[in-house]
Structure 1
Amino acid sequence: MSKYARKSINKLSAYVPGEQPRPGEKIIKLNTNENPYPPAPGVQKALCTFNPEVLRKYPQPLADTFRLEASNIFQIDPDQIITGNGSDEIIAMIFRTFVGPGDTVAWPIPTYSYYPCQAQMQEAKVVELPFDENFDLPEKLEKINARVFFIANPNAPSGTLIPPARIETFAKKIKGLVVVDEAYADFAQSNCLDLAKRLPNLLVMRTLSKSYSLAGLRFGFAFASKQIITDLLKVKDSYNCDAISIHLATQAIRDQKYLKANVEKIIAQRNWLTAQLRSLNFTVQDSQTNFIWAVVPKKQNAKLIYQQLKSDGILVRYFDKRGLSNGLRISIGKPAENRKLIENLKRIIPQ
């Protein structure tokens, strides 16, 4: 590290993304919750026919083409939508806008490990409270005097869902901003979009990385009151979404039929993989996402299983953290990939 960085940055442990295979490496990749199916046909066509002349000029500052399309699809005022270079950028905007040095932020754990990184950058005080045994919000959370509460829903890495009614009750009891991170909402039975339309202190984030098969595009968006969006626009980078991503993101959300068909296939494989893992004595949470959280059988070592799978050419996610080190997070792949995973686990784990 250099002598020029702020003290909070020198102390910061950077976020560690999921492992990416080297170019050309043959890997079954089930570790970063990407969609196993390609983007919508309209996205592929739009990419192939994109006019390079457009790149000579700056893109739309507010991604208006996307916001108007999203407004129509999600039935919300376009002025209640903001876009970002992935939902991670929107998280960063939220911290820069609403959290200053010494301010308190809070969330239930385990959760998305990017939140603490942003909190440390802002020199914020972090309060983390464990989920209860049913992965419901901890009762003590509403007693925290926080500027912002982050709730990943469905949660990562557990894959569990908190009902919108429970989140609404929570939001009405507290004074701070409630951020509901819905990266996996399209795979769930319910979502909190309606709450973002009605509650003045609630923001819902979405991404195109998971259900829309566009993790490589880096495009996220959020819904909130016009007042919250106006605040966020003050700290947004001038042209934070490029012209190609705006164009392709717009094409992606237009094809809701393709989205739903892919989601149905992934849910079917999620159900199959859950049953298979349980038959191997894994403890598996009922998931509302495109991944599964699987606690390994007794007397088995999750890290060793992860390492053995990796040597076999299968990547899953292992977290060397307290409370998570006995499990594996497994993304839902195509049927053949999921079958290969189960075949290898049967070989690794004595029956």
Structure 2
Amino acid sequence: MTSYFRPSVDAMVGYVPGEQPKPGTNIIKLNTNENPYPPSPDAIAVLRNLDSEWLRRYPDSYANDFRKAVSEVLEIPVDWIIVSNGSDDLLNIVMRACAELGRKVVYPMPTYVLYRTLAQMQPAEYVEIPYPDDYHLPIEELVAANGAVTFVASPNSPSGHAVPVDHLRQLAARLSGVLVVDEAYVDFADETALPLVKEFENVIVIRTLSKGYSLAGLRLGFGIANPQLLSGLFKVKDSYNIDAIACLVGAAAIRDQAYKNECVQKVKASRAKLAVDLKQLGFKLWDSQTNFLLAQPPKGNAEEIYLALKERGILVRYFKHPGLEDKLRITVGTDEQNQILIEMLINLS
């Protein structure tokens, strides 16, 4: 059959998202790192009282209402903020602006595999630097790879570890290209790399409202960087990449820091309890600063357990990738959901 696609598209394997059962399905969903608690009541109120005029008109192409809310909460000037259709959109914007054939994309592995997919789409050469067993950031190797773009997820998925900000600072100081610090899980972490954007004009910190704010279905993310770096990104973003509803709801959600922090504390407490319960069953765990745990079953039979749990109505994430074949990534649910998971694992042992 004749191909209608670019050779790079024919050669690539598309990103495979986690399974998404239909709403209302009797499933305990611990596979895609959604927050188990509802969004801020303030955000829900905006949605319920939405004026239909916002649907009729094109939205603000810069999502300024949301940028102002981010500026207030994080004490960052508005012109240091770019808004995107989920943080994935912003990763793609950075890739389109900075990478191409002859300009490499570099990142440590294992990490978010969408980085590879986006590089293949461009296309751009990508260099994957293995993390050591202790997940210490391989600074020398990342610098030597000389990327036009270097991605570091911190906290990282699927490992759950956070990279010390000082290590990111050392990396940023030595890179000639752009350093993207992907902070999708920062709301559950002990520190942020945000100060680096003021220290280095080549650093952008990317965040999302999907995790800490329980708004994965809204698709809203943002980046913070020196306006000089953002100027090139604004050139390649879609004209209206943020819809009006997302902008209004997201602004209300991010201003409600008290509610977000309350939910985050509940997730962190549940994470600690789930870790204790899994260790008692013989699982090996990695320290996590996210809303999930990377867990190695005592027999290493991760795929078998994943399939058995799925048959019984519990979804966890299994990656058939080098170094991950014997591990599961388990989203932290409510205490009730986590207890059902533990009881099921006991029955399977």
Q: State TM-score, norm by structure 2.
A: 0.98
* Correspondence 1:64 to 2:79: no
Q: Is the 8 A contact 1:63 1:241 kept in 2?
A: yes
State the AA in 2 paired with 1:134: D
State the AA in 1 paired with 2:82: I
Q: Is the 8 A contact 1:90 1:220 kept in 2?
A: yes
- Structure 2 residue matching 1:193: 3-state secondary structure: coil
State the AA in 2 paired with 1:219: L
Partner of 1:49: 49
Percent identity reads: 47
Partner of 2:245: 244
Q: Is the 8 A contact 2:104 2:147 kept in 1?
A: yes
Moved more, 245-254 or 19-28: 19-28
Partner of 1:104: 104
Shift of 1:102: 2.6
**Aligned mates of 1:134, 1:204 — CA distance in 2:** 24
**Aligned mates of 2:235, 2:312 — CA distance in 1:** 49
Moved more, 15-24 or 80-89: 15-24
**Aligned mates of 2:330, 2:258 — CA distance in 1:** 26
Q: Is the 8 A contact 2:300 2:327 kept in 1?
A: no
Partner of 1:141: 142
CA RMSD of superposed structures (Å): 1.0
**Aligned mates of 2:146, 2:273 — CA distance in 1:** 43
Partner of 1:35: 35
User: Structure 1, residues 117-174: CA drift from partner, whole Å, max 9, x if none?
Assistant: 1100112111111112221111321211110100010000000011111100111012
Shift of 1:300: 4.0
Structure 2 unmatched ranges of 5 or more:
none
Structure 1 unmatched ranges of 5 or more:
none
State the AA in 1 paired with 2:231: T
State the AA in 1 paired with 2:318: Y
**Aligned mates of 2:300, 2:154 — CA distance in 1:** 30
- Structure 2 residue matching 1:228: 3-state secondary structure: helix
**Aligned mates of 2:175, 2:162 — CA distance in 1:** 21
State the AA in 2 paired with 1:37: Y
Describe how 1:1-351 pairs up with structure 2 within 5 A: 3-138=3-138, 139-297=140-298, 299-349=299-349
Shift of 1:3: 2.3
State the AA in 2 paired with 1:270: R
Shift of 1:310: 0.6
Q: Is the 8 A contact 1:102 1:123 kept in 2?
A: no
Distance of aligned partners of 1:174 and 1:300 in 2 relative to their CA distance in 1, 3 Å threshold: closer
- Structure 2 residue matching 1:216: 3-state secondary structure: coil
- Structure 2 residue matching 1:329: 3-state secondary structure: strand
User: Structure 1, residues 200-255: CA drift from partner, whole Å, max 9, x if none?
Assistant: 11100000000000000000100001011111000010110000000000001010
Distance of aligned partners of 1:250 and 1:23 in 2 relative to their CA distance in 1, 3 Å threshold: closer
State the AA in 2 paired with 1:267: K
Q: State TM-score, norm by structure 1.
A: 0.97
**Aligned mates of 1:305, 1:284 — CA distance in 2:** 16
**Aligned mates of 2:82, 2:72 — CA distance in 1:** 15
Distance of aligned partners of 1:108 and 1:300 in 2 relative to their CA distance in 1, 3 Å threshold: closer
